[in-house]
Structures are given as structure tokens and as C-alpha cells.
Structure 1
């Protein structure tokens, strides 16, 4: 809290702080008289974007692998994260979907389980993006990397 000589003040909370700041009692004087008062500050919360991180998996040729994209992803606000798209294809919750990605197919079951099946006889890497949402308008993008 900074109180300026003209009586104005500024307050810069630490990153992601919200809530009530402890009350400040202050005294002003004109050289003859004094007056006491208090200052109450409340910092309202804002929605912060989630953080998505790249995930790495290893599988053998012609062998599917289960993907867990939300592992390691986070939201400082504690919002529930959901995957909204894979490789540019929007996901529809509760629906079986197959999505073509580089060098394979991603399957999303109606229950939300996700797997990657490499193209037959392919060995090498496959990388594709996914987008997460915090349900409050913020999103983040990261990659699934399979070798």
C-alpha cells in the first residue's frame, strides 16, 4: 500500500491474490487539527487462464496407447478442466469420436477415455494439439507427443 502526499493511495496485490486486505488506520493533520480514519480494500477475483502442458507417451509399432491429456494441466482458480478439441476437431461430450491425427487415429469414447492408435506398420513420432477449457471462458493449448 502506498499513500501519496496528496492523500491518494495505490495498492498492488501479489499475483492471484483476492479477498479482503487487513484494515489500515491512518491519521491526517493540517498542522493544527488531526483526524483518524480507516481504509478498507477488497480485491475482487478474476478468472485466470488454465495452464496446459505437453504430454509424452511411448508405444510400440501397431500398439495403441491410452492418453491422459489433463495430467499436469492446472487452473489456479481450481476450475474443472475439460478437453474441448483434439487436432482442431471439437469434442462432443458423451459421444464416441474418432479423429485423424498425424500418423494415426485418436479415439474418444462416450465415457471420455482417449487412446491413440498408430497407422499400421508406422514407427516414429506423432504430435498433435489439444485445447482445454476452464468452463469460464479461458482456454489453453498443448501437445500430445507419442513416440
Structure 2
């Protein structure tokens, strides 16, 4: 068997790293999830405390009566293009799925290997780019 030595090496490495020296007893130090460490717990506690403080200072954003879309941490009103993309994103995704299934699976007019175009919707992390005014554009050209 060609893979025999490699499998033996992997099993030995597992026993050394996860079991106490290959004795068969599980090591208690390696059984913890990375989120159970003290530093992860402290970080999580600080983040929850900051969120609670934000709610206390600015009020509950889910109780807002406004139709505006607010950025949660800064309470800034989102750009209208972002609001439009958030409100229409589910319908856009469903339309694209239906188109994909029709073209590639049902009618087979398009190959399954053809690339799917990427959506360029404005979102919170990628706000819409601003078009510079004519005055600024002329300044940049000269």
C-alpha cells in the first residue's frame, strides 16, 4: 500500500497532538473551543457591554418609527441608493435564481460553466461612489 506510511505519520501526529503522548487518554488542554479561552470571553463581554451602552445612549433602533434606514453604531441615515438596494435585494436574488434555473437547467440555452455576473449593489461597506462636480472635474484635469 503506497499511502500506508503517510497514514501512519498522520495518525501518529494526531495522537501526539490530541492525545497524551499516544497513551489513549484525551488531553484536556486540547478539548476547549477557541471561544472558551479567557481572552475571547473578555473580548465578547466588552463588545456586549459596548452594545448595551450604545442602546442606552441612543435608544433602541428597532423601536424607531421613521422609514429611514439607520446605521446602527453611528445612527447616520443611510444613502437612498443603499436603502433601495437593501429593500430590493431579496427580489433581485430571486429573479437571478429563476433566470439561472431557466437558462441553465430547464431550457439549457446557457452552459452551466458560464460565469455569473457579480452584483454591484451599493451597501453599507461599499457606499455608492459620488460623481465629482464639474468644477472639481475641471480642476482635476488641469
TM-score by length of 2: 0.19
Higher relative contact order (CA 8 A, sep 6+): 1
Larger radius of gyration: 2
Q: TM-score, normalised by structure 1?
A: 0.18
Point out the structure with the larger strand share: 1
More helix by share: 2
